[in-house]
Structure 1
Amino acid sequence: MQQRAGYGMLLPRPILGKTILFKLFRQRKHNQIIVDRQYAALTSLARTPYFYTDLDVPDTVMGRFEMLTLVLILFFRRTAKSERSGQELAQEIIDAFFTDIDHSIRELGVGDQSVPKRMKKFAGMFYGRLESYSAAIDADEREQLALALRRNIYPDAGAGAPTMEKLAAWTIGAEKALTAITEDEVASGHLVILAPGGDTA
């Protein structure tokens, strides 16, 4: 059969196409395994009982949100110094984080029209904390960090709220420990943040 002029390069090549699609699928599956592994490790650390029994974080829905936010901030600060693969992983992690928030909001019975507004609020909370905590960590100002943590974790408690100095001390220590994490550990989803009490998780 005669081939129409100019259309040869537009004809699909099934064998090559299948090979490329298989490679892309395998790569995406591999990447998702890395994302899932790293996100699970971060969320598991944020649920560590020690934070709630010894470091004055309230064991409430918002208390757990605050802890996961803090853990993710430490993760993002480390991956910001990484190669491209680490930064791409960080984007996948933040996407997973906000997907979880979206699901949680919907499970509470919030209507579809109200979800975007709630999501915008949580995004603002997250990035506001990223900015204020980073400023204190960069300056190695434990007292400044403790005040920021106290303000966010206990917004309505007033003078009776815990000082959050112990949580601030853990945060700065964990940040410093992350300098020893290698690029291979970051890229493979094996980044480990120092757990409270001196262990790692």
Structure 2
Amino acid sequence: MTRALDSGNVSLITSDHVPYVFFVQLDFSQPLRVCSAGYSMDWNGSTWLGLGALGSIEPIQEQASLEATGVRLALTGVPTEYVAIMLAEQYQGRPCRIWFAPLRWDLQLGYAPIPLFSGRMDVPTIDVGDTASITVSAESKMVAWDRAKVRRYNNEDQQSRYPGDRGFEFVPQMVEKQLMWGR
């Protein structure tokens, strides 16, 4: 995947010393936003919890062909309230995003972070102590490329997803309807 880098990021990356930070967002009902800095950072209208040593992120593989790739990341020092959220809700298939950001000399963001990965979460492994360690696997959206879509564009399917929506209510009447134009 080709990435367009602005001139500011290019100058930061090509300098002699490149401090950097990773941003990771896992979309639970209350999104978990963490970064690899030792302090919390504000970016994109949110505060990203600084975990220090984020844990680990496996190398992100990129393919020139249409092929599904995945990433495995371990987050350490996660607040235990997120463990309760993970145990109480269905999160498999929800978005997982990772960004990389080179930092300025004062260890602050100079330019917009570079998106590295966007995919869907799989089942994580959770170790709980004073804080939690979460190991998450995520797969790119290409994993569902050849999977059949299970949508029926009828009123019952629409009601199961969006109760009260009347967009498909009259579809059965329209199938054999004869319309006389110009009268």
- Give yes or no for TM over 0.5: no
Scaled by the length of structure 1, the TM-score of the pair is 0.22
Scaled by the length of structure 2, the TM-score of the pair is 0.23
More helix by share: 1
More strand by share: 2
